[in-house]
Chains A and B, each alone.
Chain A
């Protein structure tokens, strides 16, 4: 395959970042915007070309018989730790990578376009585009990584671009602390990933994905450790769980999810790009990338399933009670990613030929589209009413028809209503879960129902409910074309994406899988659940009434806890501020100043005290000296005399 396109896909965004970052301040907003959009547009076209080439050219590099192959386009040495461990920088093309290229460049392009309208007149417009380019570069680098270390490198870069973009409004303290929180929480997770990579690389003398996942390789690792276990898990299990920890951080799985809702402090296009469609699915991508290894250790997969299922339910419950529309979407994102995680966790070759994997990737794709749509829609709303809370909205359907209809499509897609894209992917995921165990199937169906409920709660509260009196002073209207166009296109994609024959393109082992919808066992029940949930939401929120308050009063404790996100932030606050900062750090600093430094100073003080004491003898009084001298001389002479006589 020609090297030019893959290299350009990475080179254009980073070049854009450098140009806009270094010279942006000297450019006009318009020029910077056009440069950014053009750059991303070109990248998108290139990525489409590459993906199209990969899937449909029939090139023998990419497909042999019916099996899709992994192809390393280029791979150059970047750093050589030791003769065994070499970090390369390369471009690995395989089905999930090609799909991610499409997703990232598409969303990124639309976000670039959308931002031109959304960020208009903002100070730091050029900086915003620079950071967007940096993010796109890092994310593309992450998905094309040929080895886990390259992935880790871009993983970190993605984290930093996320930090920079969340903290884009750096003058507001809340944005600053949100960005800090996001970075530190994900860094903590990355620590787990790093340790996992350390463990893995010690037993497997390579970072390369193809070699890592080659048949027989994991068994070799297990053999090399001599069956050693630690707390009941083999070395490989631990390595995989630790690596998954990194994914938990980026994908906001349960104990490490707290940064994502706060990350909504960033500009809305950023939320759409990073915190909904692309970066947060990196964890899913990571597990998918190393899936053959995970298959070796079902314990690790069970762990993923468990974390994912808990997170999905938790986030869905919390989303039902939030006021800030972006936070509702954030929790919805958490919940949906958890869906993908569960789906990956239950994927087994023996259950529907590893359907879970395909379903997870499918949902990743469709979710990226409709969640970006929802976020961009939310951005349009915020742009119109200048507030994030639904209390400032209500009855907007008449004022903003485009936003209304696209948002509705997004809601239908995420709720899983036929024939919108969400239905298809969710259906596949649920069938994989039912195939694995009925318990998780029912559980996740319930979560899917909750999803439909909270999304329509949001929809009704924004567009129906009661018309907000403020509109008389400030009449909201639809966004400019740069913002509406992406909405319309993404809505269109969300309508039709379900009909893509995804199973033919992406499966865990490259062999095609023919999607068939299990209407009776899975689809009808889940569809019914969704419809019931939507009807419930309609009853409660279509017109202003007191039902929601009554509903909240049924379980006031639960409602309050969910409203406070089950106090996770408070717990973290307690641990970080009260324990780590006030107890550990302060006491160490005190120890250093007073004990360690005190000891060193004490040496000096003792020396000084001794000198002062001795100094008294050197009184400076000649008379005293004479006296001592004389007495000494007398004593000496006396001794001498006594000896002689």
Chain B
């Protein structure tokens, strides 16, 4: 029975959410549905996390747990295959936390709250679906499901040049998907026979176990898949959707997009591009190391001179997500572990940032840091949260960013040749630049005298804003203070990928 698999519920609950919302009329009903379902998601993710760790502790060393296979299009052998390893579990947890925080943060969304949450739920379904599947076709499908609602969410509920940004974001990501589709089809046609006797398979595990795809094809398919996912991971030079898209998106969408959707890119990169195409990954990594290395420094430098809060964070995301891809390309356990931690950290931290920016914007009606100042005196709670987010971003020990960045640096430094060294050192320089732009914003926005006397009447955070931010801050601090269990979970999950890489070389 399909429903007995716990993973399926990550898709079913959003579906229930959709159905529930379709029936809702009043705002209270909508909120009830959203809160109940997002709490359910959070609970189920938490339970999965605990149960997963228990199973691992009990000695279950299978690569993926909770696996299940259900055929849904036999002629092409497309199945709904689910299964999770430690990384997926953490990603699901992250998504659940951010969906919850995002729901709470859009407590007073208007206009059309019902439609907003409908698309929001669809988006989260795509995200959850992506993380639970191990079938690349179904994965791609969920990927698209997650992308499309973005267009409407930004185009309808956004601010500023929203139509332009929505169009740009959607088109660029769709362009990436086109590459991706090509890559995935290529992988499928060279995948070798499936376990149940069909000629080809979409299942990641089966493809990996069937052995390497022939080398020539790998050289073609790796750039396709990596660029395809890299666009979503804001890799230079395909990152320009991110500043415009984030700047115009409504709060919850920015949160979910930067917090989770961009992680789909990094996740796909190692789960598909590196795991399934190890030889090409090994030989062609240098190209993408250059690009992601540029992303890291370039995003940070660009962020230094922006004046729009959301642009600053968007460029900061370019830098931080560049770090994720950069670390993945280092092809060793420590660096890749760091990449996943950076995903978690960046997800939580950026979600917090965007939530706070949304809250500040909702009060001051501007995001231009030149037109604000001294907000710490007026809204101390939001100010403190913003500082915490900033410190997490610039890598203060005790918050998640530090752990992730350090793991990445120490892992990356294990590659002993000069090329890697130069890029690692360039990447480490970003921690200084990050400090520069974060402190610049904090200094201009929160500290100093009050810039605009009209702002003195503004109020501090409401209860739902506090709930939303506290959820995220607690997670950030928890990862920052007690990183080792996450670290171990991730490291264990990387073993097959690393083995595959070693076998290929």
Contact = CB atoms under 8 A, between A and B. Distances in A.
User: Do A and B share a direct contact in the complex (Cβ within 8 angstroms)?
Assistant: yes
Interface of A: 77-82, 85, 149, 153-154, 156-157, 160, 163, 167, 170-173, 176-177, 180, 183-184, 187-188, 191, 194-195, 198-199, 201-202, 580-581, 584-586, 588-589, 592, 596-597, 599-601, 604
B487 to A, nearest CB: 6
Interface in B403-420: 403, 406-407, 409-411, 413-414, 416
Indicate the member of B391, B406, B407, B409 with the most A CB atoms within 10 Å.
B406
A188 B488 CA distance: 31
Given A82-B334, A171-B377, 6 more contacts: A81-B411, A173-B448, A191-B428, A191-B429, A585-B302, A604-B171
A493 B276 CA distance: 69
Nearest to A584: B301
A597 B488 contact: no
Contacts of B428: 191, 194-195, 198
B448 A170 contact: yes
10 contacts: A80-B487, A81-B407, A85-B410, A157-B396, A171-B374, A180-B443, A184-B439, A585-B302, A585-B304, A596-B236
A581 B306 CA distance: 11
Q: Give the interface SS of chain A, mostly helix, strand, loop or mixed.
A: helix
Contact of B488 (A80, A154, A167, A172): A80
B241 to A, nearest CB: 8
Contacts of A176: 443, 447-448
A610 to B, nearest CB: 15
A245 to B, nearest CB: 12
B455 interface: no
Q: Which 4 A-B pairs have the closest CB atoms?
A: A153-B397, A597-B240, A170-B447, A585-B304
Contacts of B302: 585, 588-589, 592
Contact of A589 (B237, B305, B333, B402): B305
Contact of B410 (A78, A81, A596, A600): A81
A89 B332 CA distance: 25
Contacts of B425: 195
A156 B483 contact: no
A579 to B, nearest CB: 12
B432 interface: yes
The bracket for how many chain B residues form the interface is 35 or more
Nearest to A576: B436
B376 interface: yes
Contacts, number: 126
B168 A600 contact: yes
Contact of B396 (A160, A180, A188, A597): A160
Contacts of A187: 394, 431-432, 435
B167 to A, nearest CB: 8
Nearest to B395: A156
Contact of A170 (B241, B376, B410): B376
Nearest to A167: B447
A556 B240 CA distance: 55
Interface string B117-137: 000000000000000000000
B301 A588 contact: yes
B26 interface: no
Contacts of A188: 432
B440 interface: yes
Nearest to B486: A79
B330 to A, nearest CB: 12
Indicate the member of B396, B443, B447 with the most A CB atoms within 10 Å.
B447
B184 to A, nearest CB: 23
B491 to A, nearest CB: 8
A202 B334 CA distance: 13
B234 to A, nearest CB: 12
Nearest to B380: A25
